[in-house]
Structure 1
Amino acid sequence: MELGTIERELYVEAAPEIVFDVVSNPDHVKQWWSDDARYETVVGSEGEILFADADGGKVEAFTVVDVQPPTRFSFRWTHPAGEDAAEGNSLLVTFELVPQGDGTLVRFRETGFRERGWTDAVREATYEDHVHGWDHFLPRLVAHATAVGVRS
């Protein structure tokens, strides 16, 4: 079983400019993914993503890596607090946006699981957790971006 990369393709009935804003702007990210998002949409911006739960929640470090409106947004996350995000200590998420008809093809990719140096059991559990998480959140991205596109 490959435990190094999660990839998905999604179609959104909204223009790439709208989808880019939805995947990159913290105000939108809070609507489909995290409970809070604190960062600026500029390369090198460091911040955090917060997920609430019954135990109070989890805060994940977040660093913007690439911003190319309206075609590409990527970030590193899950690195230890106080460390700069880099290959080996974080996961890399990339949204590539391709115009397709009246909408946008979203190519989603999360990498870096093997490079973290985790034991096989930790890598497998984290990978599966992220697979289930993205399977839940990416359809919410599509719904939110479509709704924003309709309002525009």
Structure 2
Amino acid sequence: MTAERTSLVYVTYIRATPEKVFDAITRPEISRRYWGHENVSDWKPGSKWAHVRANESREVNLVGKVIEVSPPNRLVVSWTNASQEADPESYSRVTFDVVEYDDMVRLTVTHDDLIAGSGMATGVSKGWPIVLSSLKSLMETGQGIDIFAKPKSA
């Protein structure tokens, strides 16, 4: 029996050019500044990509393939935990749509084909909001936020 699938959609507006936002997603030296990970690939359809922790461990957390790339407006990748790379059922899909709006862009991130109720669905539902907030902060102020921050105790 096939597991039920779900989708998550996040939209943010960023004072930046489409080129700068697209580069922030695809260039490891930029993604490490707001995501704490480097997105590593040659960004050609069919190529592998990896989400590599930007610390001394260099742990590969996520992997997938580039499905579609149309700089600076669209990137589609498959997405799974590195530990589940061999399981085709574990893969979901992430689409980054970057649309120019005067002196800013609207970035829409659609994470779909997620297994409903899975650890991945739970994790990305918490992760995307802070990652996108950090991206926005980096683009607009030159500094990302701490995406690994934890709530202070009451």
TM-score by length of 2: 0.74
Match of 1:47 among 36, 46, 49: 49
What CA distance in whole angstroms lies between the structure 2 residues aligned with 1:31 and 1:42? 23
SS in 2 for 1:113: strand
Question: Which runs of 4 or more aligned residues in structure 1 lie more than 3 Å from their structure 2 counterparts after TM superposition?
Answer: 55-58
Q: 1:104 to 1:40 in 2, by over 3 A?
A: same
Pairing 1:63-74 to 2, within 5 Å after superposition = 63-74=65-76
Q: State the partner residue of 2:62.
A: 60
State the Cα distance separating 1:95 from its structure 2 match: 0.8
Q: State the partner residue of 2:85.
A: 81
Q: Deviations over 1:3-47 (max 9, x none)?
A: 711111100101111111112222222222243332222222213
Gaps of 5+ in 2: 143-154
Pairing 1:61-140 to 2, within 5 Å after superposition = 61-78=63-80, 80-82=84-86, 88-114=89-115, 123=118, 125-140=119-134
Which one has a larger percent strand, Structure 1 or Structure 2?
Answer: 2
TM-score by length of 1: 0.74
The one-letter amino acid paired with 2:68 is D
RMSD between superposed Cα atoms in Å: 2.8
Paired-residue identity, %: 21
Contact 1:41 1:67 in 2 (8 A): yes
Gaps of 5+ in 1: 115-119
Q: State the partner residue of 1:117.
A: none
SS in 2 for 1:7: strand
